[in-house]
Structure 1
Amino acid sequence: MSQYVARLGQRLPRPPHRIRFHGAARRPRRVAMLSVHTSPLDQPGTGDAGGMNVYIVELARQLAEHGTQVEIFTRATTAGLPSRVELAPGVLVRHIDAGPYEGLAKEELPAQLCAFTHGVMQAWAGHRPGHYDLVHSHYWLSGHVGWLAAQRWGVPLVNAMHTMAKVKNAALAKGDTPEPAARVIGETQIVRAADRLIANTAEEAGELVRHYDADPARTAVVHPGVNLERFRPADGRAAARARLGLPQDALIPLFAGRIQPLKAPDILLRAVALLVDEDPALRGRLVVPVVGGPSGSGLARPERLHKLAAKLGVSDVVRFHPPVEQAELADWYRAASVLVMPSYSESFGLVAVEAQACGTPVIAAAVGGLPVAVRDEVSGFLVEGHEPAAYARTLRRFVTGGLTDRMGESAARHAAGFGWDAVAASTLEVYADALHDRRRHLRSAHG
């Protein structure tokens, strides 16, 4: 995929010899943020939209609150979209035409990087030199565009992988498709090119070093955050259940997120089937909401999961719901007895923190960043492996209801430490370090 960028780069002017940084001494005045394959305006839980969308939106808003303007470049996925949308004061979303608007799978996007980069450069050409002080790219596809943009503009590149091919391939769900070798190569190139890498957790930083030979000195750990104004206990579980039409005395294990093998919603269904087999009387007070849509560009119902529910004999207790807006999602969290995240891989697990912020404990796989997001035996439980029986045993602890309330209070306290304001402040420190190093290298180069 780098060949697409390289060809475009041959047609672009070199950056000016003298670089000027604007704004405060330690902070960029304006950041170009890149999100090629998913728009921050898309509904999380649909297509390829998920935690990264939430991350970009919340971080950009908080950066603007701290005085750093953000322009987010993303691919236009619908005809007739305005070229620019103000997401919030100081945050602008720019839609770039690159490839067909609809039906383009993420795997086909490398072929559109040249067109996307051209659109970014067209936007830049309309500004005075030095308009952007830094590039922050999200995911490896954006990293390749950011690599070229940062070189042409003479500014630092900060990249956040969010997920990594080598890590995902090492923990594939049964029947899932491995990430291609081309992505591994692309990620390796970005790790080498970036001035700074942002990892969600110390474990992810270690994976960057171990799998991609990242420089530890250029790798920073910044935990993602949660919107604590939106995700909070509010008026409680009973009120949330009333609003959603859920029975007050039900055991409600919730799955929320994209329906894909990586997220493993099938494990929850299999665990529920085991619970019902062990205690048939439980069926009458069990509701299992699956809130989310299928991954990818398709909008079809998640037929495989529907068929699995029927095969397991739990169709009567499983309720499939399409993705919902953040305000309603908070109600689903509040209404749940427990959130279940049996994922095979999670760079962090933002959904887990959102649920805890609403006062709901979490049962999660002990993978990736989930041991950071969930405090084991305090705000929830971490489960080793992916055996449905292990999840069934843990779910059984919530049957009586008292554990939900006790752990829910601890969960809310735990999540309170993950506010976006702190994330933005830490990210600005990473920016400042990258800018400082760039200035130092420029001084050295010019004697």
Structure 2
Amino acid sequence: MTAEAPTPHRIATISVLTSPLAQPGGGDAGGLNVYVVETARRFAAVGVQVDIFTRAAAPRLPPVVELCDGVLVRHVPAGPAREIDKGALPRVLGEFADGMLRTRGEYDVVHAHHWLSGRVGALVARARGVPLVQSMHSLGLVKNAVLPGGEGSAPMLQIAGENAVIAAADRLVANTAQESDQLIALYGAAPERVHTVHPGVDLTLFRPGSRSQARARLGIPEDAVVLLFAGRVQRLKGPDILMRAAAEVLRADPDLGHRLVVAFVGGPSGDGQADPDQLTKLATDLGLGAHVRVEPPCPHPELADWYRAATLVVVPSRAETFGLVAVEAQACGTPVVAAAVGGLQTAVRGGVSGVLVEGHDPVRYAEVIRELMHNPARLATLRKGALSHAAGFGWGEAVDRLIAVYRAAIAGVRGQP
């Protein structure tokens, strides 16, 4: 450490899209929430204070909530004190920025998560004379490439906002090398400002355990073949692909009729919120009603049980900047069948910790699933590989690398004329 690159003492983290106190797995709460909370906890553990600014989205919320020693969640009044559609959030960003600027105290760096937060962060960072570090978490141009003009695609307002934030940021943090390449190729980000920092998982929570005990706690038969989807239920995440693949598996292996369990743990999100019963209806249409369990988002200890109970975790996302679910599952010793897209190609080591599937054809997913179900030795090898691969994704290394990014950003701002 040098005088030109000091360690930050206090960070202003911005999460406009969703509160860090929300339960991940439904609505707009997902990996972003986990990332913000887990990094903040670990920053605090090494003596770096964190204030997380989020919108006051409910009446009578306390202005400040202590998440843990050294981490405060600050509720900023901006727009109505209730949940609003994220399409309306751009209209309250100015009010949000004003609320942040009225907060007393000095910050060494502003770290914004998602483009909406970045719009606020750019204003606050410049007003305070500190650097803006930006994490996008999703990219509209990537989403539009897989959902062209359809439900869930990103509007042009978002694309324009993303471009503005990427241009304004002093440093950009990408979850994977693929995302770094996308920031540079699609948005013209300066390569020297882009840093790749893999997210982590809580390896003390997501760890191997007794499958029998997990299944007993969840009410799953001991001899079941369990295919698990965990996360927000929206088209981008591909829950329909798993449902159709499961129907193909059952068609090809009718003897599985008394053993197959297809579990979806998560709530409707995005376009899925307009049709919260879509999974149940699709299951009925495909003749899978008796085999499907649709469960609400759950706390991490229960989610870890679901991972341990699963035969395979299936992550058929049409786009994914990282794929936290895939790493969490592998940390519990469960192999993953995932789409060979975006960050999943980093989160899953194909052929070692799971199988990466090209394309999104349910028939191909069914073939992969059936092949693994009928090859216990292969499954056992993948379980060992899953544990080994996930062990490299602890939060400690991620936080160390983020602090290095902050140091570089601070030094860069102080070095400007």
TM-score bracket, shorter-length normalisation: over 0.9
Backbone CA RMSD of aligned residues: 1.7
* Alignment deviations for residues 353-392 of structure 1 (CA, whole Å, 9 cap, x no partner): 0000000000000001001000001100000000000100
SS of equivalent residue, structure 1 residue 47: coil
SS of equivalent residue, structure 1 residue 241: helix
Asked if the contact 1:64–1:91 (Cα under 8 Å) also holds between the matched residues in 2, the reply is: yes
**Post-superposition shift, 1:399?**
2.2
Does 2:145 match 1:178? no
* Among candidates 128, 136, 154, match of residue 153 of structure 1: 128
SS of equivalent residue, structure 1 residue 363: strand
Alignment of 1:152-231 (within 5 A): 152-172=127-147, 175-231=150-206
AA aligned opposite 2:339: A
**Post-superposition shift, 1:236?**
2.0
Asked if the contact 2:352–2:385 (Cα under 8 Å) also holds between the matched residues in 1, the reply is: yes
Q: How many residues align?
A: 414
Does 2:331 match 1:357? yes
TM-score (norm 2): 0.96
Q: CA separation in 2, counterparts of 1:167 and 1:25?
A: 34
Q: CA separation in 2, counterparts of 1:393 and 1:103?
A: 42
Q: CA separation in 1, counterparts of 2:4 and 2:223?
A: 56
Q: CA separation in 2, counterparts of 1:384 and 1:181?
A: 29
Q: CA separation in 1, counterparts of 2:379 and 2:222?
A: 13
Say which one has the larger Rg.
Answer: 1
SS of equivalent residue, structure 1 residue 353: helix
Does 2:297 match 1:317? no
* Among candidates 395, 399, 405, match of residue 380 of structure 2: 405
Q: CA separation in 1, counterparts of 2:273 and 2:249?
A: 31
Gaps of 5+ in 2: none
Stretch moving more, 431-440 or 330-339: 431-440
Does 2:267 match 1:287? no
Asked if the contact 2:151–2:271 (Cα under 8 Å) also holds between the matched residues in 1, the reply is: no
Asked if the contact 1:165–1:183 (Cα under 8 Å) also holds between the matched residues in 2, the reply is: yes
| 1:17 corresponds to | none
* Alignment deviations for residues 285-318 of structure 1 (CA, whole Å, 9 cap, x no partner): 1001100000049978721221111110001101
AA aligned opposite 1:93: V
| 1:80 corresponds to | 60
Asked if the contact 1:173–1:344 (Cα under 8 Å) also holds between the matched residues in 2, the reply is: no
| 1:19 corresponds to | none
AA aligned opposite 1:237: R
Stretch moving more, 242-251 or 33-42: 242-251
* Among candidates 301, 305, 312, match of residue 327 of structure 1: 301
Q: CA separation in 1, counterparts of 2:236 and 2:163?
A: 22
**Post-superposition shift, 1:177?**
3.3
| 2:17 corresponds to | 37
Does 2:81 match 1:107? no
Asked if the contact 1:103–1:297 (Cα under 8 Å) also holds between the matched residues in 2, the reply is: no
AA aligned opposite 2:66: E
TM-score (norm 1): 0.90
Stretch moving more, 161-170 or 294-303: 294-303
Stretch moving more, 422-431 or 88-97: 88-97
| 1:9 corresponds to | none
| 1:10 corresponds to | none
Stretch moving more, 392-401 or 417-426: 392-401
Does 2:40 match 1:60? yes
